[in-house]
């Protein structure tokens, strides 16, 4: 390859942290500036292979804050790197200076014209939020990357982002009308605006002169631009000088795709598009990858909106991910090698159905009859798009050090060369001893391809260099673009000159120097770049090693060790989504990177590898990082790479408390199963706490339980009745059931267990009374000990419980429980506490109450004699663990089996109670803030006679404390719905608003 004139050295070391820099920023900013090691570490990476520790992090609240940051940075010779969602693939938003996170505060709407279809937003605005805002008026912003739930408009403009539907709508430069920005010294200007003495320029004579110089530079290089710029839609490399030789150039388009190297964007004006009334999809099946690539251009000829590839890697890996398994089974028939998702959109459904017929005919004409699955229903289409948008992260779910690596991620070639190009790249992989993963935008010849390499291995890094250089040559041969969507960053800036040539590369350097003469704005990107394989810039540097914890409390062998489990976070940022699903509730409430699955995983990785200082793993700073993790387990299901922060928190707390001791509050909560029986006998005395404010205040002062929160009321506990059963009593058919009474329902809400007994008997089950083999204390899941990191004691409880249940399980009985956080411990943490066949059998034969009923109702094993409920409305809130384990469908199934019950499922994240979390004075405000995101607003709209259903003890308590409503376990709802002859509770009416 041709060498650039001058490669930049490794990015300058972090700016010298003399007292003046933090002090000056603190004096000048309305926002915040942070310089602690943990915050800097969290901002040292994006979704690329790179990591550069910044000098500090700025969270601006206004354009004035950014201007002040630029001026102060100049005083201290510190680079400035603007950052949005931090989801870039190539290292764009990282650097050694001040990282400016616009997403935290600088994310509002500045102007919106619903008639004209234009909107002006601050750069930190998340795309999905923007589209939610304009949807009611029939508009949307059509540049929709797969990261739409968390990417920001500023980041999209910086990268010149595209999206699945670019075939119809183009990329950012086709949809940006104007940009307001700041020059390197903080002076404001605007490009793309009109109405003053300098058409297209808003600002000083200096900005106008700069604009004129850029137009002159482009005109001087017109011939070279026309000869060297790739003739494909997906070209986002270099600077957009080609935009300035158009008949009516929009100067804003020079800033689009400039990756923050020319100016600091403060506002972006966008052109909106009309939402189509209908969309339909045809899922095209192919027996080989080559066949799909050869057929793509013929499908594009049918004028679809999108044609997206889902390759065999995604089909195989996705089938093992619970979140996607059902959808993939729904849209595939047989065993295709790969799929092309083809979408048509418009206002006439009949026309779109004819488009699907034409698609089917096209496939048949090319040798693939009956190879299209039609997806017309909007809900099904959303599920399919969720799979497509998660393709990258599904492939990143590969366990082990070798992962699909982004560096030739989005090369684009003309469609007529697509099949030959992909074959040639595959040969390059084979030659270098690896294979690749493919997905994405077949419609525009921009397939995201990632060879599988280990970035900890020097040999694989050398292979990466060889693959990059050979692929760059292939792209030139096929007259394509080396950077087709994700920008240049660190990964591809080195390859700008081989594609564009020396003359245009020097012109790009002239552009950079004109805007940023001191090379302070995001240096090393696009021009004068470092070597892309400089390992000193990698997340896994040559000396990277995990040193702690040396001995883990849980079994992490399935992940290759605790360190490997932490490293599964690839920073894709799915946890930053602000709506849909349940992840990550604390981030949704606070907006802080610290309180995010990604932020916590980064901190853990840096700590266990010694990059945050000695003993960082068990430091108070790490404790604060994990404090707002509510262990909801949403990341376990919704993080496409499977990061399980709830389990990691257990591991951390084990080591933290071993070093610092266990506080009284945690001791009281952890030991609850031990003293619950005795506490019940003292119920009249203990329950006085909530009647007298002075006692509540005392409990906060002494035990750390917030006086603003009521405590559960101790009751006469539920207990197993009758003689203990024996394993030989188990018949071995589906009717043998053991009802597991968890500590919470047993001690505080025995009526739930009593209702469950009646429903199970009415369904024809045989209930077996199981007592522990040693002593009479009830069996326990160990959840309370796990929540405090007391894994040794939790392991004892697990062993006791498994020993007691095992003979019955082997005889064919099933275990059923009511409390999701307890019962599902059998299916999750028990395997990490007691790995082996015994725990595996318990996991296999353990069911939530609603799962057992739904399973057997669906196959016709049981029937329940429900009475008609006369149209009564029931609002269902799901416990986080129900969602994590895919059990919400079971709750819906059993409630929909009740005639005359009108079920409304609340789309909500964590209720915010989360066991002990909601009792802590330091987190109670966040607890209620989580509930206010969606749960409380939905329930405030409920009617006075509506039911509220919540299977989690914590959820019911939160709803009572926050709204004064009584929520019920599904067992009680079903019990009352039984025909009167089957339930003594059948004739009772219970006011759900009473406590």
Mean pLDDT rounded to a whole number for the chain: 91
Burial of residue 727 (number of CB atoms within 10 Å: 0-12, 13-18, 19+): middle
Query: Which token pair is 703?
Result: 């035990």
pTM of the complete model:
0.91
Residues 6+ apart with CB under 8 A from 159: 88, 92, 172, 236, 257, 259, 485, 486, 487
Q: What is the mean pLDDT of residues 647-670?
A: 96
Structure tokens at 388: 């497509």
> What is the pLDDT at residue 722?
65
Measuring CA to CA, how many Å separate 530 from each of 367, 492, 716? 48, 10, 70
Span 697-724, pLDDT tens digits: 999 999 999 999 999 999 999 987 766 7
Show Cβ contacts of residue 729 under 8 Å, excluding neighbours closer than 6 positions. Answer: 768
**Mean pLDDT along residues 249-277:** 96
- Cβ atoms < 10 Å from Cβ of 194: 10
Q: How far is CA 601 from CA 200, 362, 455, 613, 647, in A?
A: 45, 47, 18, 17, 12
- Tell me the C-alpha distance between 915 and 784, whole Å: 9
Supply the pLDDT for residue 389.
72
SS3 950: strand
What is the DSSP track for 559-583? GTSHHHHHHT-----GGG--SSSS-
In the chain, the percentage of residues whose pLDDT exceeds 70 is 94
Confidence of residue 4 (pLDDT cuts 50, 70, 90): very low
Secondary structure, 3-state, 682-704? CHHHHHHHHCCHHHHHHHHHHHC
Burial class (CB in 10 A: 0-12, 13-18, 19+), 112: middle
Report strand pairing: 436-441 vs 306-310: antiparallel
Cα separation, 609 vs 728, whole angstroms: 53
How far apart are the C-alpha atoms of 658 and 260, rounded to whole Å?
Answer: 46
Strand, helix or coil at 177? strand
Whether 55 and 95 have beta carbons less than 8 Å apart is answered as: no
Residue 987 confidence class, pLDDT cut points 50, 70, 90: very low
Check if the beta carbon of residue 879 is closer than 8 Å to that of residue 634.
Answer: no
336's tokens? 């295709």
Rounded to whole angstroms, the Cα distance separating 570 from 567 reads 7
Q: Is 765 helix (H, G, I), strand (E, B) or coil?
A: coil
Contact 99, 83 (CB under 8 A): yes
At residue 660's C-alpha, the angle toward residues 658 and 662, to 5°, is 75
How does DSSP assign 730-759, residue by residue? ---STTEEEEE--HHHHHH-HHHHHHHHHH
pLDDT at 196 over 60: no
DSSP string, 254-283: HHTTSTTSS-EEEEEEEE-EEPPSEEEEEE
Q: Taking residues 303-331, what's their average pLDDT?
A: 84
CA 958 to CA 912: how far, in whole Å?
A: 7
Q: How far apart (Å, rounded) are the C-alpha atoms in residues 527 and 512?
A: 8
Pick the range with the lowest mean pLDDT from 79-88, 629-638, 739-748, 768-777.
768-777
Q: Which helix (H) or strand (E) holds 884?
A: helix 880-884
Tokens 């940051």 map to which residue? 69
| H or E element, residue 360 | helix 349-365
Q: What tokens appear for 62 in the block?
A: 């206004």
Least confident of 718-722, 845-849, 931-935: 718-722
State how far the Cα of 452 lies from the Cα of 646, in Å rounded to an integer: 29
DSSP conformation letters of 463-517: HHHHHHHHHHHHHHHTT-BS-SSS--HHHHHTTHHHHHHHHHHHHHHHHHHHH-T
C-alpha pair distances (Å), 26 with each of 14, 16, 186, 627: 19, 17, 17, 26
Which percentage of the chain shows pLDDT scores above 90? 80
pLDDT band at 396 (very low <50, low <70, confident <90, very high): low
How crowded is residue 619: how many other Cβ atoms within 10 Å of its Cβ? 19
Taking alpha carbons only, the member of 763, 693, 765, 678 closest to residue 982 is: 763
Q: Report whether pLDDT(549) > 80.
A: no
Q: Give 857-864 contacts, CB < 8 A, sequence gap 24+.
A: 857/893, 857/894, 857/897, 858/893, 861/734, 862/763, 862/764, 862/765, 863/763, 864/759, 864/762, 864/763, 864/897, 864/974, 864/978
Q: What is the mean pLDDT of residues 327-344?
A: 91
Residue 263 · residue 515 · CB < 8 Å? yes
- What burial class does residue 89 get, using C-beta atoms within 10 Å of its C-beta: 0-12 exposed, 13-18 middle, 19+ buried? buried
**Cα 432 off chain centre by:** 33
- List residues bridging with 148 in a β-sheet: none
223 class by beta-carbon count within 10 Å (0-12 exposed, 13-18 middle, 19+ buried): exposed
pLDDT tens digit sequence for 937-975: 999 999 999 999 999 999 999 999 999 999 999 999 999
pLDDT given at position 982: 54
Peptide bond into 584 cis (omega under 30): yes
Per-residue confidence (pLDDT) for residue 443, from 0 to 100:
79
Phi, psi at residue 192, to the nearest 5°? 95, -5
Q: With CA atoms as reference, report the closest residue to 238 among 41, 469, 488.
A: 488
Three-state DSSP class for 976?
helix
Burial code (b: 16+ CB inside 10 Å, e: under 16) for 766-790 equals bbbebbbeeeeebbbbbbbbbbbbb
> Can you give the pLDDT at residue 387?
80
Cα distance between residue 487 and residue 490, in whole Å: 9
Beta bridge partners of 404: 452
pLDDT band at 772 (very low <50, low <70, confident <90, very high): low
Cα–Cα distance for residue pair 202/187, rounded to 1 Å? 12
Q: Interior CA angle at 447 toward 243 and 576, to 5°?
A: 85
Give the pLDDT confidence score for residue 773 in this predicted structure: 56
d(CA 415, CA 581): 37
Mean pLDDT value across residues 651-655:
97
Split at pLDDT 50, 70, 90, the class of 979 is confident
- Virtual CA dihedral for 957, 960, 965, 967, nearest 10 degrees? 0
How many secondary structure helices (H) and strands (E) does the chain include?
Answer: 43, 26
Q: To 5 degrees, how large is the angle CA 466–CA 468–CA 474?
A: 105
pLDDT at 550: 72
With a cut of 70, say whether residue 570 has pLDDT above it: yes
| Helix extents (H) in 576-619 | 585-590, 597-608
Is residue 484 within 8 Å of 491, Cβ to Cβ?
no
53-73 residue pLDDT tens: 999 999 999 999 999 999 999
With beta carbons less than 8 A apart as the criterion, state whether 865 and 798 touch. Answer: no
Question: Are 643 and 569 a contacting pair, CB within 8 Å?
Answer: yes
């Amino acid at each position: 390859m041709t060498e650039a004139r001058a490669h930049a050295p490794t990015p300058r070391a972090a700016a010298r942290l003399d007292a003046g820099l933090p002090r000056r920023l603190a004096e000048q900013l309305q926002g915040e500036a942070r310089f602690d090691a943990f915050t800097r570490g969290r901002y040292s990476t994006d979704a690329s292979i790179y990591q550069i520790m910044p000098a500090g992090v700025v969270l601006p609240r206004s354009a004035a804050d950014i201007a002040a940051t630029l001026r102060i940075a100049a005083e201290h010779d510190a680079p400035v790197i603007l950052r949005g969602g931090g989801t870039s693939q190539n290292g764009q938003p990282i650097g050694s200076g001040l990282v400016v996170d616009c997403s935290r505060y600088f994310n509002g709407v500045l102007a919106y014209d619903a008639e004209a279809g234009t909107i002006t937003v601050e750069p930190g605005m998340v795309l999905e939020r923007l589209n939610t805002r304009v949807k009611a008026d029939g508009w949307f912003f059509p540049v929709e990357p797969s990261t739409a739930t968390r990417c920001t408009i500023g980041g999209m403009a910086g990268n010149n982002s595209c999206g699945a539907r670019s075939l119809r709508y183009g990329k950012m430069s086709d949809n940006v009308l104007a940009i307001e920005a700041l020059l390197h010294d903080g002076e404001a200007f605007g490009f793309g605006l009109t109405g003053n003495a300098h058409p297209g320029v808003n600002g000083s004579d200096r900005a106008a002169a700069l604009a004129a110089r850029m137009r002159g530079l482009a005109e001087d290089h017109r011939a070279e631009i026309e000869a060297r710029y790739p003739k494909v839609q997906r070209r986002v490399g270099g600077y957009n000088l080609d935009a300035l030789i158009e008949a009516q150039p929009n100067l804003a388009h020079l800033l689009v795709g400039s990756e923050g190297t020319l100016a600091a964007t403060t506002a972006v004006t966008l052109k909106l598009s009309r939402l189509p009334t209908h969309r339909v999809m045809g899922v095209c099946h192919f027996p080989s990858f080559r066949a799909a690539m050869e057929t793509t251009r013929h499908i594009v000829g049918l004028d679809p909106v999108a044609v997206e590839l889902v390759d065999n890697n995604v089909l195989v890996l996705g089938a093992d991910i619970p979140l996607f398994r059902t959808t993939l089974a729904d849209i595939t028939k047989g065993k295709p090698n790969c799929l092309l998702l083809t979408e048509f959109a418009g206002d006439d459904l009949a026309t779109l159905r004819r488009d699907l017929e034409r698609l089917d005919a096209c496939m048949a004409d090319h040798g693939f009859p009956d190879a299209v699955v039609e997806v017309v229903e909007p809900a099904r289409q959303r599920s399919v798009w969720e799979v497509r948008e998660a393709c990258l992260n599904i492939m990143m779910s590969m366990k082990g050090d070798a992962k699909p690596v982004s560096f030739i991620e989005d090369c684009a070639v003309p469609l007529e060369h697509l099949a030959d190009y992909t074959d040639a790249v595959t040969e390059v992989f084979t030659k270098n001893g690896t294979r690749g993963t493919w997905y994405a935008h077949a419609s525009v010849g921009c397939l995201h391809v990632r060879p599988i390499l280990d970035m900890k291995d020097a040999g694989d890094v050398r292979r990466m260099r060889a693959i990059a250089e050979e692929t760059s040559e292939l792209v030139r041969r096929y007259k394509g673009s080396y950077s087709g969507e994700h920008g240049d960053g660190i990964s591809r800036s080195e390859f700008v000159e081989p594609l564009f040539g020396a003359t245009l590369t020097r012109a790009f350097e002239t552009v950079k120097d004109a805007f940023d003469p001191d090379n302070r704005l995001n240096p090393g990107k696009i021009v004068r770049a470092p070597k892309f394989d400089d390992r000193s810039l990698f997340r896994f540097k040559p000396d990277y090693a995990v040193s702690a914890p040396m001995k883990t409390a849980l079994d992490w062998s399935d992940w290759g060790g605790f360190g490997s489990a932490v490293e599964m976070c690839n920073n894709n940022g799915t946890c930053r989504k602000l709506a849909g699903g349940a992840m990550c509730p604390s981030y949704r409430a606070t907006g802080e990177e610290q309180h995010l699955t990604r932020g916590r995983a980064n901190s853990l990785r840096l700590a266990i590898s010694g990059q945050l200082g000695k003993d960082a793993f068990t430091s108070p700073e790490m404790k604060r990082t994990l404090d707002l993790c509510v262990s909801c387990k949403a990341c376990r299901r919704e993080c496409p790479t499977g990061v399980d922060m709830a389990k990691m928190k257990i591991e951390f707390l084990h080591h933290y408390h071993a070093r610092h001791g266990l506080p009284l509050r945690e001791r009281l909560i952890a030991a609850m199963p031990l003293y619950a029986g005795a506490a019940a006998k003292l119920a009249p005395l203990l329950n006085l706490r909530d009647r007298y404010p002075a006692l509540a205040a005392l409990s906060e002062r002494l035990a750390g339980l917030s006086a603003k929160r009521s405590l559960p009321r101790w009751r006469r506990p539920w207990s197993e009745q009758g003689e203990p059963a024996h394993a030989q009593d188990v018949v071995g058919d589906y009717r043998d059931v053991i009802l597991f009474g968890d500590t919470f329902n047993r001690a505080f809400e025995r009526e739930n267990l009593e209702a469950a007994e009646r429903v199970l008997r009415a369904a024809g089950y045989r209930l077996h009374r199981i007592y522990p083999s040693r002593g009479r204390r009830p069996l326990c899941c160990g959840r309370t000990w796990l929540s405090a990191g007391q894994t040794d004691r939790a392991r004892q409880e697990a062993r006791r419980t498994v020993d007691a249940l095992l003979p019955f399980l082997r005889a064919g009985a099933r275990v059923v429980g009511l409390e999701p956080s307890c019962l599902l411990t059998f299916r999750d943490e028990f395997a990490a506490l007691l790995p082996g066949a015994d725990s595996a059998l318990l996991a296999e034969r353990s069911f939530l109450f609603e799962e057992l009923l739904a399973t057997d109702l669906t196959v016709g094993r049981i029937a329940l004699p429900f009475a008609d409920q006369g149209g009564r409305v029931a609002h269902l809130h799901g416990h986080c663990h129900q969602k994590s384990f895919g059990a919400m469908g079971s709750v819906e199934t059993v409630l929909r089996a009740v005639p005359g019950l009108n079920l409304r499922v609340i789309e909500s994240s964590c209720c915010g109670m989360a066991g002990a979390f909601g009792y802590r004075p330091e987190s109670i405000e966040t607890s209620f803030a989580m509930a206010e995101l969606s749960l409380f607003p939905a329930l405030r709209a409920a009617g006075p006679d509506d039911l509220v259903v919540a299977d989690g003890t914590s959820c019911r308590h939160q709803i009572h404390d926050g709204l004064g409503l009584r929520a019920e376990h599904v067992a009680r709802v079903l019990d009352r719905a039984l025909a009167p002859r089957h339930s003594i509770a059948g004739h009772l009416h219970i006011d759900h608003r009473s406590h």
